Amino acid sequence: MREIISYIFIFAFLAFPLGFGGILLFKTETSIPKWFKFSIASVVACYFCVLFSVWSIDWHYKYELDKFDLDGDGMFSGEELTPEMDKAMKNLTNDTGRTFAPITGAIISPIYNGFWLTIFGGLTYIRNRIKTKREQGCAHQSTTRSGSKSE
């Protein structure tokens, strides 16, 4: 179950900038403030995906460790001290990746989102340039046709 939840949050982390960029790419009118709002929302969403993924892993390891606390006092003594309990304790306490995940997520989320939103921004710019040239071409053709009719 832990792996499934982690994979869901990893997928969401990967999908948020693609989804927000796709929305902006296919909108007819986009502006810099909209791009800024969507990029901030995407960065925050990705950051929370990292935090929730770490939280779910922590919760799972705490749950596994609590199985060995037979008297429910939060301490391990006597018959509760088993090799399995020791392994569960090491799983919970010996992961520096989960400790530094908030810092790592704060660094990686803006970089990752910036990369994808820059690509989508470039595609939007190209789309708008093509659309503008097409409209100018149509306007030029209609003025030349109307000018020839009046002669």
pLDDT tens column, 108-136: 999 998 898 888 888 888 888 888 888 88
> Which residue from 74, 73, 19 is spatially nearest to 46, judged by alpha carbons?
19
Q: Is the pTM of this model over 0.75?
A: no
pLDDT tens digit sequence for 53-71: 888 888 888 888 887 777 6
Containing domain of residue 80, as a range? 2-150
Please state, in angstroms and rounded to a whole number, the distance separating the CA atoms of residues 8 and 63: 20
Say what percent of the chain tops pLDDT 70.
84
| Total number of domains in the chain | 1
> Which residue from 7, 29, 4, 34 is spatially nearest to 117, judged by alpha carbons?
34
> Which residue from 61, 65, 23 is spatially nearest to 42, judged by alpha carbons?
23
Please state, in angstroms and rounded to a whole number, the distance separating the CA atoms of residues 107 and 13: 14
pLDDT at 30 over 70: no
The confidence band for 91, taking pLDDT boundaries of 50, 70 and 90, is confident
Question: Taking a C-beta distance cutoff of 8 angstroms, is the pair 9, 50 a contact?
Answer: yes
Whole-number pLDDT of residue 107: 93
Please give the angle made by the CA atoms of 135, 136 and 140, to the nearest 5 degrees: 120
Q: Name which residue leads in pLDDT, 76 or 61.
A: 61
